[in-house]
Amino acid sequence: MTEVAHTPPKLTFQRALKPVVFVLCLGPILWLGYRGIVGHLGANPIETVIRYLGDWALRFLLIALAVTPVRILSGYTPIGRLRRMLGLFAFTYVVLHMLAYIGLDRLFDWNELWKDVVKRVYITVGMAAFAMLLPLAITSTDAMVRRMGGRAWRRLHTLAYPAGIAAVIHYALMIKAGFLQPIIYAAILGLLLAARVFKKA
Ligand code: HEM
């Protein structure tokens, strides 16, 4: 009788982790697409799209920043391999959020956009957050880590924290009521920053 090759369950789980998380990360955008198709975007669809993508951009940013503390606390090292993918998803949702605003709300009127950047502080701060995330996305490949050297790469990638702070400030400045959500995001970010400082000490 031929013996059937058997993969240990732990290995199967580890191998499935990344593709499963990848599909889960696509969930919010697929859900938004579905809501668009069935016409469930509310009375102001453009505002709904911009806000929905902004919310998910911030959530993914915090989830990506949480990977290392969760890995250390849980001792489950394979989680570490999700960090780059989650960071890139955060960046993708930021870009979609920004594009929705520039394309759907401002209709690619660059003059109007520039006026917004100069006049509306929350847009200026949002742009600053984007400007900090851009070099992180560009240098996210293994080749870039090798080219820059681990130390310089790690130092550059601490920019994710000020980007997170700017993103929370952008949110807090933009709303007129209901400050609970940005306060919750700020508290989570504060904990993640504290975990980082604690790890270094
Ligand atoms: C890291 C970058 C960014 C993050 C994480 C982020 C996140 C958010 C969040 C969470 C909101 C509030 C959503 C809600 O009310 O539920 C928001 C609103 C908004 N963001 Fe961003 N944002 C970022 C960058 C930008 C940039 C670069 C722009 C424009 C150039 C922008 C334009 C807007 C606008 C216009 C709104 C308000 C929409 C409205 O008035 O309803 N954001 N953003």
For the chain, the structural domain boundaries read 9-200
Q: How far is CA 135 from CA 92, 129, 144, in A?
A: 13, 11, 11
Q: Which residue has the tokens 């849980």?
A: 74
* φ/ψ (deg, to 5) at 4: -85, 130
66 CB near ligand 1 (under 6 Å): no
169 CB near ligand 1 (under 6 Å): no
pLDDT in tens, 47-79: 999 999 999 999 999 999 999 999 999 999 999
| pTM (two decimals) | 0.93
Distance CA 88, CA 61 (A): 9
Distance CA 58, CA 30 (A): 18
- Whether the CB-CB separation of 52 and 28 falls below 8 Å is answered with yes
Give, for ligand 1, the residue of 88, 97, 101, 104 to mutate: max count of ligand atoms closer than 8 Å to Cβ. Answer: 97
Q: Is the pLDDT of residue 178 over 50?
A: yes
60 CB near ligand 1 (under 6 Å): no
User: 23: burial class by Cβ within 10 Å (0-12, 13-18, 19+)?
Assistant: exposed
Which ranges constitute the DSSP H helices of 75-159? Answer: 83-99, 110-119, 121-138, 142-148, 150-157
Label residue 8 left, alpha or beta by phi (over 0 means left) and psi (-120 to 50 means alpha).
beta
Measured from the Cα of 185, ligand 1's closest atom is 10
Residue 1 pLDDT: 47
pLDDT in tens, 129-176: 999 999 999 999 999 999 999 999 999 999 999 999 999 999 999 998
State in Å: Cα 100 to ligand 1 middle. Answer: 10
State in Å: Cα 171 to ligand 1 middle. Answer: 6
Residue 165 pLDDT: 98
